[in-house]
Structure 1
Amino acid sequence: MTMYSACASSDSTGTSSTPVGAVNVAATGQNRRVEVRRLGVGEYQPTWDLQEQLLADTLAVKTRNRQAAETGALPEPTPNYLLLCEHPHVYTLGKSGKPEHLLLDEVGLTAHAATFHRINRGGDITYHGPGQLVGYPILDLDNFFPDIHRYLRVLEEAIILTLAEYGVRAGRIAGLTGVWIDFEEGAANPRKICALGVKCSRWVTMHGFALNVNTNLAYFGHIVPCGITDKAVTSLEQELGRPVPLAEVQDRLLPHLSQLLGAEMYENS
């Protein structure tokens, strides 16, 4: 079992094996342990189904806890998960998105070996594909902080800090969720490197972030990314001029998420 803790000592890769300062669930009523699952490359629909199942299981625990509170029984800790994966070529449209922002018809999707899904996250259309690190946190924010805006900023900050380890300066653009390069006001070429889109049910999250690591950026040319017409997209590979192992990026990201959430992350062997 590998541990990533906000209070743990790290090795040279940023990972840690000593869970120092783990949260006492019985004392606080909060479970800040997060199970990390590295899923590898997987089709979009089964991964979405897994998210939905984990969400439903967590919500069922919260329902039982509400019923237990009426009898004075102790609450059952709610679980937290982080799914990390890559997808084959796929376009997803959020519930507030515009279908016309997909510029391919069925024939075009087939020609590009891509699929299309309408989903229940916020935001508009985006692309997922090989070489992109996708993270799906299924977290009960009651275990951390019940504030969806703060949660989005935490995800962004974890990405910003991870990119900084590669010497890439990234940040935010006011009014635009996500992480950007050349983000300062008046910059000549602002470009998005990480998209975010989440859903939250009774403070339990699903969906998450998509960080372009070694992504084929040509696929973004077939959509209006996130409904934004006047800004470009980029990848870590494009910024550095070399490919970067996705596993390495995952290893560098996890301690930042752990620190910012105040979480103890672990992976089962």
Structure 2
Amino acid sequence: MNKVITYEDLGFRDYKEVWEYQEERFQEILNIKIQNRRQGTQLPTPNHFIFVEHPHVYTLGKSGDLGNLLVSEAELSQRGANFYKINRGGDITYHGPGQVVGYPILDLDNFFTDIHKYLRFLEEMVIRTLGDYGLEGRRSEGETGVWLDVGTPQARKICAMGVRASRWVTMHGFALNVNTDLSYFDLMIPCGIKGKGVTSLSAELGRHIPMTEVKSRLKKHFRTLFETIPE
């Protein structure tokens, strides 16, 4: 099992460009697995973890409801935002400046073959990162992602998640609101969940949070949880 992770920070990049880049990495891993099975070889499969920040964009998962987008695509364009229907699970999600987006492209055969455990580990990575800032992130039953004040009228989501997996290879991932302009969430029903708010690290702490600092802490907790080997 290969537990080495290749980390990449792509900076500020268009969503579609990075989606295509993910697909390339994803397919490379699948091709190795198919070759191993057909030819009886044991070539190691790589693992990637991509950090990126996107311009304003709304994405709808394959089982999502377009009705959760509250404005037309023309109105989105006026706000400088794009819209894509994509091949992950989950409903509608917003990405934009000030948000740390992470795309782990892993062969779970290198770690564990349990997609629910995988999602719980991603949530735990974010929960531990929030804990570094004195915030108590929690899971909300039946609602993938990380929340604050679960079970109260003030419940609000700080991190959304949606993944795709095939032959135990993952893509897509999570979006953690750090210094995000939360007004863009008003144009949709986030993740199709009505009556609950969204928040960000900066909104909770009342100050700007360095993005590099957050990414470093996410990476540290990811390494611990997945027991990865240094590059």
Q: Same fold (TM over 0.5)?
A: yes
1:202 aligned onto 2:167: yes
Which residue of structure 1 lines up, in the alignment, with residue 133 of structure 2?
166
Paired residue secondary structure (2:89): coil
Which residue of structure 1 lines up, in the alignment, with residue 7 of structure 2?
36
How far 1:223 moved relative to its partner?
0.4
Identity %: 54
Which residue of structure 2 lines up, in the alignment, with residue 193 of structure 1?
158
List per-residue Cα deviations over 1:49-104 (Å, max 9, x = no partner).
000000110000001111232xxx4x000000000000000000000101111112
Contact 2:98/2:179, CA 8 A, preserved across alignment: yes
User: Separation in 2 of the partners of 1:66 and 1:231?
Assistant: 46
User: Separation in 2 of the partners of 1:106 and 1:48?
Assistant: 20
Higher gyration radius (CA): 1
Which residue of structure 2 lines up, in the alignment, with residue 254 of structure 1?
219
Contact 1:81/1:137, CA 8 A, preserved across alignment: yes
Q: TM-score, with normalisation over the residues of structure 1? A: 0.85
Aligned residue pairs, count: 231
User: Separation in 2 of the partners of 1:233 and 1:207?
Assistant: 20
Contact 1:59/1:202, CA 8 A, preserved across alignment: yes
Match of 1:263 among 223, 228, 231: 228
Q: TM-score, with normalisation over the residues of structure 2? A: 0.98
Which residue of structure 2 lines up, in the alignment, with residue 123 of structure 1?
90
Paired residue secondary structure (1:264): coil
C-alpha change, 1:35 and 1:173, in structure 2 (3 Å) is: same
Contact 2:29/2:169, CA 8 A, preserved across alignment: yes
Contact 2:60/2:86, CA 8 A, preserved across alignment: yes
How far 1:265 moved relative to its partner?
4.7
User: Separation in 1 of the partners of 2:148 and 2:97?
Assistant: 21
Paired residue secondary structure (1:88): coil
Matches within 5 A, 1:1-269: 30-69=1-40, 73=41, 75-183=42-150, 185=151, 187-266=152-231
User: Separation in 1 of the partners of 2:78 and 2:135?
Assistant: 34
In structure 1, runs of 5+ residues without a counterpart are: 1-29
User: Separation in 2 of the partners of 1:213 and 1:91?
Assistant: 17
Higher relative contact order (CA 8 A, sep 6+): 1
Contact 2:59/2:92, CA 8 A, preserved across alignment: yes
Contact 1:139/1:205, CA 8 A, preserved across alignment: yes
One-letter amino acid of the counterpart of residue 51, structure 1: Q
One-letter amino acid of the counterpart of residue 55, structure 1: F
Which residue of structure 2 lines up, in the alignment, with residue 21 of structure 1?
none
C-alpha change, 1:166 and 1:200, in structure 2 (3 Å) is: same
List per-residue Cα deviations over 1:153-181 (Å, max 9, x = no partner).
00000000001001111111111100000
User: Separation in 1 of the partners of 2:143 and 2:201?
Assistant: 20
User: Separation in 2 of the partners of 1:38 and 1:106?
Assistant: 29
One-letter amino acid of the counterpart of residue 31, structure 1: N
User: Separation in 2 of the partners of 1:249 and 1:106?
Assistant: 32
One-letter amino acid of the counterpart of residue 94, structure 2: Y
Contact 2:2/2:44, CA 8 A, preserved across alignment: yes
C-alpha change, 1:41 and 1:143, in structure 2 (3 Å) is: same
Contact 1:61/1:76, CA 8 A, preserved across alignment: yes
